[in-house]
Amino acid sequence: MGYNSIYKESLFEGKNIIVTGGGSGIGRCAAHELSALGANVIIVGRNVEKLQQVSTEIEEDGGKVDHFSCDIREENNVKVMINEIVSKHGHISGLVNNAGGQFPSPLAAINQKGWETVVRTNLTGGFLVAREVYTQSMSKSGGSIVNIVADMWGGMPGMGHSGAARAGMVNFTQTAAIEWAASGVRVNAIAPGWVATSGMDTYPPHMKPYILSLKDAVPLKRIGTESEISSVICFLLSDGANFVSGDCVRIDGAASQGSRVWPLPRAKNSESYNGFHRATTPKIFQDVESATKNQNDS
């Protein structure tokens, strides 16, 4: 059993595609789907063990993969890493700028170090990787870049540092799409809404009720899957999106379009798409499913 992608198997045959933050969550899922579609995937992250685990998974599934450990917040490290990738694999056709991280906190409680750490991770790091991929490879032969941001339109209460960084990444996406177009480089972004990933298990216990209630604020009345994010990434990297650049696609079940005036009744006819054969449900949702099953059995 392999990845059940909606795209043809040879879509990215012979193409080198980098996925930062490829050791878990959306990055891991995208790496698997891209590999299943023929790409030589290069996953990047700081945790070597996670990278090795995902590499083993992809190899077991018959895919092609390599991994590099790098702190993308350090300029020289990024320069050296991209040089090594290009020297080893050749032209980089695609980049999924997925690496990121933040912690929940109101603005008044964020100190300078915490603010700068999140901005360096979610904005500066993404810029450095994209710039080096462009200057060392894509400026010569073209390519496609997909930056992963978040729903920060209208503010991001509780994560203002991440919201500011993500907003900056959207503007960078728009600027790069113009400046790099002459080289045949397309630059887009996606803004995932609430998605069931392993990252949800990293938040403190007091946020559990909030996480479980997220679906109630989504017009489709559910949260998304990693596969539903990965499929849009694959489209934007593909030739089918050759006239799409400088855009940001919101993948959130219309949550960012919601209005407090319009009620959100129970939804129907919206089934989750999950093509990722190695997907794992976050523990917080496993606990709910288990409790529900026990109630039904009793």
| pLDDT tens, position by position, 37-81 | 999 999 999 999 999 999 999 999 999 999 999 999 999 999 999
Cα(238)–Cα(38) distance, integer angstroms: 12
| pLDDT, position 239 | 96
**Average pLDDT over every residue of 274-290:** 80
DSSP code of residue 142: -
In a domain, 254, yes or no: yes
| pLDDT, position 210 | 83
In a domain, 3, yes or no: no
> 291 pLDDT exceeds 80?
no
| pLDDT, position 200 | 78
Q: What is the pTM of this model?
A: 0.90
Tell me the percentage of the chain whose pLDDT exceeds 70: 94
The token duo for 43 is 């996953």
CA dihedral 222, 225, 231, 234 (to 10 degrees): 130
Sign of the alpha-carbon torsion through 265, 207, 150, 199: negative
DSSP code of residue 98: -
| pLDDT, position 205 | 79
Give yes or no for a contact between 82 and 137, defined as CB atoms under 8 angstroms apart: yes
| Per-residue pLDDT tens over the stretch 70-116 | 999 999 999 999 999 999 999 999 999 999 888 889 999 999 999 99
| pLDDT, position 273 | 86
Q: Which of 56-70, 238-252, 256-270 has the lowest mean pLDDT?
A: 256-270
CATH value at residue 135: 3.40.50.720
User: Domain limits at 145?
Assistant: 16-297
Give yes or no for a contact between 223 and 195, defined as CB atoms under 8 angstroms apart: yes
Give every CB contact of residue 286 below 8 A, 6+ residues apart in sequence.
none
Cα(151)–Cα(292) distance, integer angstroms: 31
Binning pLDDT at 50, 70 and 90, where does residue 296 land? Answer: low
DSSP code of residue 208: H
The token duo for 278 is 């190695």
Ranges of beta strands (E only) in the chain are 16-20, 40-45, 64-69, 92-97, 143-148, 185-192, 248-251
In a domain, 1, yes or no: no
CA 286 vs CA 197, 212, 216: distances in Å: 12, 11, 18
Give every CB contact of residue 112 below 8 A, 6+ residues apart in sequence.
none
In a domain, 105, yes or no: yes
The token duo for 174 is 């728009």
| pLDDT, position 298 | 58
In a domain, 6, yes or no: no
Question: Which of residues 2 and 232 earns the better pLDDT score?
Answer: 232
**Average pLDDT over every residue of 138-156:** 95
40: left (phi over 0), alpha (psi -120 to 50) or beta: beta
In a domain, 290, yes or no: yes
| pLDDT, position 258 | 66
| pLDDT, position 295 | 59
**Average pLDDT over every residue of 276-287:** 83
| pLDDT, position 178 | 98
CA 279 vs CA 33, 35, 44, 53, 183: distances in Å: 12, 15, 19, 14, 37
- Nearest of 191, 70, 190 to residue 133 by alpha carbon: 70
Looking at the 3D structure of the chain, how many domains does it have?
1
Give yes or no for a contact between 181 and 280, defined as CB atoms under 8 angstroms apart: no
- Nearest of 224, 223, 197, 227 to residue 5 by alpha carbon: 227
Give yes or no for a contact between 96 and 19, defined as CB atoms under 8 angstroms apart: yes
138 membership: H or E segment, kind and range: none
**Average pLDDT over every residue of 146-153:** 94
In a domain, 242, yes or no: yes
In a domain, 10, yes or no: no
| Per-residue pLDDT tens over the stretch 174-223 | 999 999 999 999 999 999 999 988 777 777 777 788 888 888 889 999 99
| pLDDT, position 280 | 84
- Determine the Cα angle at 110 with ends 250 and 260, to 5°: 40
